[in-house]
Amino acid sequence: MSTQIQNGSSHHGSSSSSSQHPPSNQQPLSRYESQKRRDWNTFGQYLKNQSPPVALSQCNFNHVLDFLRYLDQFGKTKVHLHGCIFFGQPTPPAPCACPLRQAWGSLDALIGRLRAAYEEHGGSPETNPFGGGSIRVYLREVKECQAKARGIPYKKKKKKRNTIIKGTQRPKDIEQQPS
Ligand SMILES: [Zn+2]
């Protein structure tokens, strides 16, 4: 018994690595990584479903913009139209018929994930369709439109609200959007 302890302690100094082998196959992906993988698959499926199907190498920012618009039908964020009496109200007292859209924060985070995934799958940063200026312009327009329609003061950057805005990129907040 005592010899085992001695053997063990003699090994100790050389390497601090543990002998535990984490099961690499079953190692769960982080929330971000698994979400990124899901997004990437969704986008790939979207390209395949186009007629004619779009190869990833042919994909440009127009496909990305179409993809973002396509996603709006699955959105959960009420964005009031100009004619709506609740336009600009953060918490309307009653439901209305305005469309549900993808929240700006979730689109912004989505683009970030897809942009990373594109390069992880061998795409070059120069041709990354998720990194183009058109995408940034589109996201900015969505942000400003939703800020006005929903009465969210995104523009007040001097206050500490910055952190709250960044927080909207978390998927959890998307799910928590109430009607
Ligand atoms: Zn409305």
Q: How far is the CA of 133 from the centre of ligand 1 (A)?
A: 30
Q: How far is the CA of 97 from the centre of ligand 1 (A)?
A: 6
Give the pLDDT confidence of 113-142 residue by residue, as tens digits: 999 999 999 999 999 999 999 999 999 999
Contacts of 90 (CB under 8 A, 6+ apart): 150, 151, 152
The pLDDT of residue 29? 86
Residue type, 76: K
- Residue carrying structure tokens 């971000």: 32
Q: How far is the CA of 161 from the centre of ligand 1 (A)?
A: 25
Q: Which phi and psi (to 5°) does residue 43 adopt?
A: -65, -40
Give the pLDDT confidence of 152-172 residue by residue, as tens digits: 876 555 555 544 444 444 444
Q: How far is the CA of 92 from the centre of ligand 1 (A)?
A: 8
Cα–Cα distance, 176 to 78 (Å, whole number): 13
Nearest to 46 by CA among 77, 7, 73, 19: 73
Average pLDDT estimate for 20-30: 67
Q: Model's pTM, two decimal places? A: 0.70
For residue 104, count CB atoms less than 10 angstroms from its CB and return exposed for 0-12, middle for 13-18, buried for 19 or more. Answer: buried
Q: How far is the CA of 101 from the centre of ligand 1 (A)?
A: 12
The radius of gyration of the chain's CA atoms, rounded to the nearest angstrom, is: 23
Nearest to 155 by CA among 65, 145, 174, 167: 145
The pLDDT of residue 25? 62
Q: How far is the CA of 103 from the centre of ligand 1 (A)?
A: 15
Q: How far is the CA of 69 from the centre of ligand 1 (A)?
A: 19
What is the CA angle 114-98-41, rounded to 5?
20
Instruction: Respond yes or no on whether the N-terminal peptide bond of residue 92 is cis (omega within 30° of 0).
Output: no
Q: How far is the CA of 84 from the centre of ligand 1 (A)?
A: 5
Q: How far is the CA of 40 from the centre of ligand 1 (A)?
A: 32
Give the pLDDT confidence of 36-93 residue by residue, as tens digits: 999 999 999 999 999 999 999 999 999 999 999 999 999 999 999 999 999 999 999 9
